[in-house]
């Protein structure tokens, strides 16, 4: 197992100093996500401007992978429409499940592609997908 | 000075030799994980099997296997014999009086669920169940549900700042309404051993039934159920060198006879009519369905193996490792230990955290060094909450672990720090 391919600089940076980790004043929607088996626990807060996610942030605690994945996701979805965000969630989950392996198709995930190697670590997959599932739940509520 | 050094060197050598001698009996330990020799420090979750256990199960399946009980053919008779011999071995292991006091289950969890289900017949609204915040989820949820079904009160004992539950805490929480008192023999998180004999005595004084969860106790502490005087005692085979899927519930005969059965079906009946049935005598009353005979045979071999070495010697070895690991870990300012630092009333389990690093990252990185440790909440969320911990890493020892392995583990902690960019 190559640790460097999992604990990349990008992931470590997002874990340590996430600019997205704070609570959001006047959030329109707040969604709680939890991995009961390991204790990763996040609250995702979203602000909307019509159909667009105008701002997002999170609070909570968990392992480096869960925290970095959440932060990277927030960078990606800000400014996106609900439909676009949902599509990104599906693509990310497909990447982790290895349903999509084509680099071209994955390019729209941008920095979140750094989490691709988690798919080789079954024990940690749930850490990586927690925030994405949480976002999906939140957006379903919004729709 | 010289003699002190000499005796320290001698002790060190004895410890290494003890583990080395037995490690060779465990084929699984002789392998590389991620390019490094395996260090197996997850014994509180499950233990490995010596050749004698593997052979006993294999031999049973190759030469004896048949459905036991009521079979007229030779193999069925032999399978019954093998199953009942295993029961007798377990009876002697915990010094129960009678074989029918030994119920085979899948594991401690099933044993405790059986009790919570069947004890429903003996409680009524307003009664109290007393457990502790140290308990594994399997000694919490069955009682939560029973409390909900029958409108009972579920109360908790809490440890002091020294991680131990004082007897005064028990005295305070026991009331005339306490009908069930269920307590772990050893915590699977802090490694603390509870004074279960004294606790049982206090609970009996007010007439409560006493249940001891021996999942972490039976594999490491010589247990005599008659001396302990627990009404019920539950443990798992796979935490004491046996196979998964075989567990034990000991109960005093007169109590087991009074309780209704848990699972219903084949093997546990006397007469079945269209509208009602009568049940088989003990222990079959509590063993519905085809039992796990190969598991029981494996457990018998595991008990034989442990008894040959002696649980006292094994515990002594584990405590030496624990003392050594605690001493070294205390010296590292980035390690926070979630449990007592002294060796009194404790077993070979150490829960800990590295500052600013989540235990799952810790476990992943030490695994890359071939070292198996557990991380998370250890099925004890209420205890984690009580100690305000999100999760911990946990190492737990058994007879085949060595000080050299502890050293490798300590070195791997440096690597975890490096990956996270903290100076060593």
Largest interatomic CA distance in chain A = 45
Which of B370, B377, B388, B390 is best to mutate for the A interface (most A CBs within 10 A)? B390
B85 close to A (CB below 8 A)? no
**Where does B53-308 sit in CATH, by number?**
3.40.640.10
Give the ipTM. 0.76
Could you give the domains of chain A? 3-142 (3.90.1010.10)
Q: Are A27 and A47 in contact (CB under 8 A)?
A: yes
Residue with tokens 């590389």: B32
Residue B209's pLDDT is 98
Structure tokens at B286: 């509590």
| A107 min Cα distance to partner chain B (Å) | 27
Average pLDDT (A12-17) is: 90
**Minimum-distance CB partner of B391 among A38, A121, A124:** A38
What does the block give as tokens for A62?
């968990």
**Bridge partners for A58 per DSSP:** A21, A44
Encode pLDDT of B363-402 as tens digits: 999 999 999 999 998 999 999 999 999 899 999 999 999 9
Looking at the partner chain, which of B360, B367, B384 has a beta carbon nearest the beta carbon of A63?
A: B360
Residue A53 has pLDDT above 80, yes or no: yes
Name the token pair of B416: 């975890």
Catalytic: B363? no
Catalytic residue among B157, B170, B354, B379: B379
CB A61 within 8 Å of CB A41: yes
Q: What is the pTM of this model?
A: 0.90
Q: Measured between alpha carbons, how far is B62 from B84 in angstroms, rounded to an integer?
A: 19
Q: Determine, for residues A38 and B360 on separate chains, whether the beta-carbon distance falls below 8 Å.
A: yes
**How confident is the model at residue B424, as a pLDDT?**
52
The rounded distance, in Å, linking the Cα atoms of B288 and B280 is 10
Q: How confident is the model at residue B249 (pLDDT cuts 50, 70, 90)?
A: very high
- CATH code of the region B2-30+310-419: 3.90.1150.10
Q: Is the pLDDT of residue B292 over 90?
A: yes
Residues B8-55: pLDDT tens digits?
Answer: 777 777 777 888 889 999 999 999 999 999 999 999 999 999 999 999
Burial B344-356 (b: 16+ CB within 10 A, else e): eebbbbbbbbbee
> Whole-angstrom Cα distance, residue B215 to residue B234?
7
A124 inside 8 A of chain B by CB: yes
Residue with tokens 């909450």: B385
Q: What is the pLDDT of residue B7?
A: 78
For chain A positions 40-79, those within 8 Å of chain B (CB to CB) are: 41, 61-65
The pLDDT tens digits for B142-175 are 999 999 999 999 999 999 999 999 999 999 999 9
> Is there a contact between B419 and A3 if contact means CB atoms under 8 Å apart?
yes
CA A48/CA A56 separation, integer angstroms = 9
Task: In whole angstroms, give the CA distance from residue B239 to residue B222.
Answer: 14
Domain map (residue ranges) of chain B: 2-30+310-419, 53-308
């Amino acid at each position: 197992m190559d640790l460097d391919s999992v604990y990349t600089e990008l992931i470590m940076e997002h874990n340590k100093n996430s600019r997205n980790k704070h609570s959001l004043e006047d959030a329109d929607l707040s969604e709680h996500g939890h991995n009961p088996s390991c204790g990763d626990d996040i609250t995702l807060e979203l602000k909307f401007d019509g159909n667009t996610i105008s701002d997002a942030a999170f609070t909570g605690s968990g392992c480096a992978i869960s925290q970095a994945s959440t932060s990277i996701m927030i960078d990606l979805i800000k400014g996106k429409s609900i439909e676009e965000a949902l599509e990104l969630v599906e693509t990310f989950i497909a990447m982790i499940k290895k349903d999509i392996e084509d680099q071209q198709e994955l390019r729209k995930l941008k920095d979140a592609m750094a989490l691709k190697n988690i798919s080789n670590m079954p024990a940690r997959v749930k850490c990586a997908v927690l925030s994405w599932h949480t976002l999906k739940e939140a957006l379903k509520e919004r729709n | 000075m010289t003699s002190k050094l000499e005796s320290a060197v001698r002790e060190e050598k004895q410890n290494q030799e003890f583990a080395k001698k037995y490690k060779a009996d465990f084929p699984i330990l002789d392998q590389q994980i991620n390019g490094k020799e395996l260090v197996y420090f997850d014994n509180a979750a499950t233990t490995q099997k010596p050749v004698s256990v593997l052979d006993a199960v294999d031999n049973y399946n190759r030469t004896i296997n048949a459905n036991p009980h009521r079979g007229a053919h030779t193999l069925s008779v032999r399978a019954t014999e093998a199953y009942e011999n295993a029961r007798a071995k377990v009876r002697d292991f915990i010094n129960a009086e009678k074989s029918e006091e030994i119920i085979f289950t899948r594991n401690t969890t099933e044993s405790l669920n059986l009790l919570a289900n069947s004890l429903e017949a003996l409680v009524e609204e307003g009664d109290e169940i007393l457990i502790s915040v140290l308990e594994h989820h399997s000694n919490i949820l069955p009682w939560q549900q029973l409390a909900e079904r029958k409108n009972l009160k579920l109360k908790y004992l809490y440890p002091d700042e020294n991680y131990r539950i004082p007897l005064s805490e028990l005295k305070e929480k026991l009331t005339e309404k306490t009908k069930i008192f269920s307590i772990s023999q050893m915590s699977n998180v802090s490694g603390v051993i509870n004074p279960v004999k004294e606790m049982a005595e206090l609970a009996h004084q007010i007439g409560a039934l006493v249940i001891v969860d021996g999942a972490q106790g039976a594999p490491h502490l010589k247990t005599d159920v008659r001396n302990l005087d627990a009404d019920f005692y539950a443990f798992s085979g796979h935490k004491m060198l046996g196979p998964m899927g075989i567990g034990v519930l000991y109960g005093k005969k007169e109590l087991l006879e009074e309780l209704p059965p848990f699972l219903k079906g084949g093997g546990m009946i006397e007469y079945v009519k269209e509208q009602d049935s009568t049940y088989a005598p003990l222990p079959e009353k509590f063993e519905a369905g085809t039992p796990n005979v190969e598991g029981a045979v494996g457990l018998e071999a595991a008990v034989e193996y442990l008894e040959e070495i002696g649980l006292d010697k094994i515990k002594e070895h584990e405590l030496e490792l624990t003392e050594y690991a605690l001493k070294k870990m205390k010296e590292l300012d980035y390690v926070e230990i979630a449990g007592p630092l002294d060796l009194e009333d404790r077993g070979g389990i150490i829960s800990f955290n590295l500052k600013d690093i989540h235990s799952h990252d810790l476990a992943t990185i030490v695994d890359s060094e071939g070292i198996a440790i557990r991380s998370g909440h250890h099925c004890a969320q209420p205890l984690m909450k009580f100690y305000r911990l999100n999760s911990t890493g946990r190492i737990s020892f058994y007879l085949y672990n060595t000080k050299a392995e502890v050293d490798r583990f300590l070195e791997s902690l440096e690597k975890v720090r490096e990956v996270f960019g903290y100076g060593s």
